Amino acid sequence: MPKKNLFPSKNSPLRIGTRSSPLAMAQAKMVAHAIIAAHHLDNDAILLTPMLSQGDIVTDRPIADIGGKAVWSKELERALLHDEIDVAVHSMKDVETPRPSGLAITACLPRDDVRDCIIGVNRIDDLPQGATIGTSSPRRAAQIKHIRPDLITVPIRGNVATRLDKLAKGEAEATFLAAAGLDRLGLNKQNIGVNFGHIDVDVMLPAASQGAIGIESLADNAMVNDLLYAINHPPTYECVMAERALIRALNGNCHSPIAAFAQQKNGEMLLQAELFSEDGTEHIASAIIIAEHEMDMVQEKADILAQRLFDMASPMLRAQYGQ
């Protein structure tokens, strides 16, 4: 089939907005390649438009202190609403649950490895007593304190290279990175320069939407959205939306130590969740099965699971979530 221009009537490419970090650019290229392959396009039918987010600029404070997860997506969403780009590519775990009016998460690529990796040692058990571990994630901090109360957590932020550099400078003895990010950057034990190991999900349940790449667009842009529907991976999209529905039901935000993971098997979805106190001493876990005929009731099922978790929690933990 001959290749073609995307918008011959406009004589312009599809503009893909992305953060300018190496990982974000790699993810945007994955989306571009998927669109090109699905629609048999020339390479010049796609234009990558890198942007700096507030989260990229301010790296010396936790995300929660500079505006929450919106610091990663706000600039891209502004560009979408002002017709500077046609789509925006996100790591879905960094996207706030409420969406600005007029915008929608239209598609997700197939989900990659959802696990966390510990960087600096091969296993959590390899950390010495009282070791310092760097993370600015409330979830990871609470989980590691729950597993190893002796460990000391310190804030550490930045892209993959920055975090590895901080580790090399001794700011912490270990840190965490998402396995999917390492894979997308082609980093492994041979080229990363330090020990690291994958952490099974039964040890550390991931953040909601971890490992998923989402594509955002104007909700009413039918031409662009038709292009994106062709690359959407429905199982990933449905699981991501279920996890986000749970975060909504829990009133979760960037301060919340919440883990959530949905998996589909044999027509059913298993939605798992964990809540932690900030210091990791309290831990609540539960799950719910969503049958195939209930897939249009995901928010209702998420609400049930959230209430189940709150009923199990102490008054102090419920207060952490506005209950």
Question: How confident is the model over 285-302, as a mean pLDDT?
Answer: 96
Question: How confident is the model over 110-114, as a mean pLDDT?
Answer: 98
How many Å is the maximal CA-CA distance in the chain? 65
- Of residues 315 and 4, more confidence is placed in 315
pLDDT at 67 over 50: no
- Listing DSSP states for 2-70 in one string gives --B-SBTTTTB-EEEEEESSHHHHHHHHHHHHHHHHHHTB-GGGEEEEEE--HHHH--SS-GGGTTTTH
Instruction: Give residue-wise pLDDT tens across range 80-105.
Output: 999 999 999 999 999 998 889 999 99
Which listed residue (86, 94, 112, 116) is catalytic? 94
Gap between the Cα atoms of 295 and 238, Å rounded: 8
Mean model confidence pLDDT for the chain: 90
Cα dihedral 87, 90, 95, 97, rounded to 10, equals 50
In a domain, 221, yes or no: yes
Specify the range with the lowest mean pLDDT, choosing from 7-11, 143-147, 176-180, 295-299: 7-11
pLDDT at 285 over 60: yes
pLDDT at 289 over 90: yes
CATH of residue 303 = 3.30.160.40
State whether 120 and 191 are in the same domain: yes
State whether 130 and 274 are in the same domain: no
Residue 99, pLDDT score: 86
CB 154 within 8 A of CB 171: yes
Task: Supply 249's token pair.
Answer: 């039901």
State whether 145 and 103 are in the same domain: no
State whether 125 and 162 are in the same domain: yes
> Which residues lie closer than 8 Å to 301 by C-beta, 6 or more apart?
242, 245, 271, 288, 290, 294
In this structure, how many other beta carbons lie within 10 angstroms of the beta carbon of residue 318? Answer: 16
Confidence of residue 68 (pLDDT cuts 50, 70, 90): very low
DSSP annotation of 191 reads T
| Percentage of residues of the chain with pLDDT beyond 90 | 77
CATH of residue 38 = 3.40.190.10
State whether 249 and 216 are in the same domain: no
Question: How confident is the model over 128-138, as a mean pLDDT?
Answer: 95
Asked if 126 is an active-site residue, the reply is: no
Gap between the Cα atoms of 45 and 217, Å rounded: 17
Gap between the Cα atoms of 128 and 145, Å rounded: 14
Question: How confident is the model over 160-170, as a mean pLDDT?
Answer: 88
Going by C-alpha positions, the residue among 235, 321, 242, 221 that lies closest to residue 289 is 242
Instruction: Give residue-wise pLDDT tens across range 210-239.
Output: 999 999 999 999 999 999 999 999 999 999
Residue 72, pLDDT score: 67
Domain that holds residue 272: 244-320
Question: How confident is the model over 129-133, as a mean pLDDT?
Answer: 97
Gap between the Cα atoms of 95 and 207, Å rounded: 11
State whether 62 and 190 are in the same domain: no
Three-class DSSP labels, 255-282? CCCEEEEEEEECCEEEEEEEEECCCCCC
Confidence of residue 149 (pLDDT cuts 50, 70, 90): very high
Residue 11, pLDDT score: 60
DSSP annotation of 17 reads E
CB 221 within 8 A of CB 86: yes
Going by C-alpha positions, the residue among 188, 180, 219 that lies closest to residue 80 is 219
Gap between the Cα atoms of 273 and 247, Å rounded: 10
In a domain, 278, yes or no: yes
In a domain, 164, yes or no: yes
In a domain, 205, yes or no: no
In a domain, 237, yes or no: no
State whether 185 and 224 are in the same domain: no
State whether 160 and 219 are in the same domain: no
In a domain, 65, yes or no: yes
State whether 39 and 186 are in the same domain: no
Question: How confident is the model over 188-204, as a mean pLDDT?
Answer: 90
Confidence of residue 189 (pLDDT cuts 50, 70, 90): confident
Let me know how long the chain is: 323
State whether 67 and 44 are in the same domain: yes
| Percentage of residues of the chain with pLDDT beyond 70 | 90
In a domain, 6, yes or no: no
Going by C-alpha positions, the residue among 289, 227, 307, 305 that lies closest to residue 4 is 227
Residue 229, helix vs strand vs coil: helix
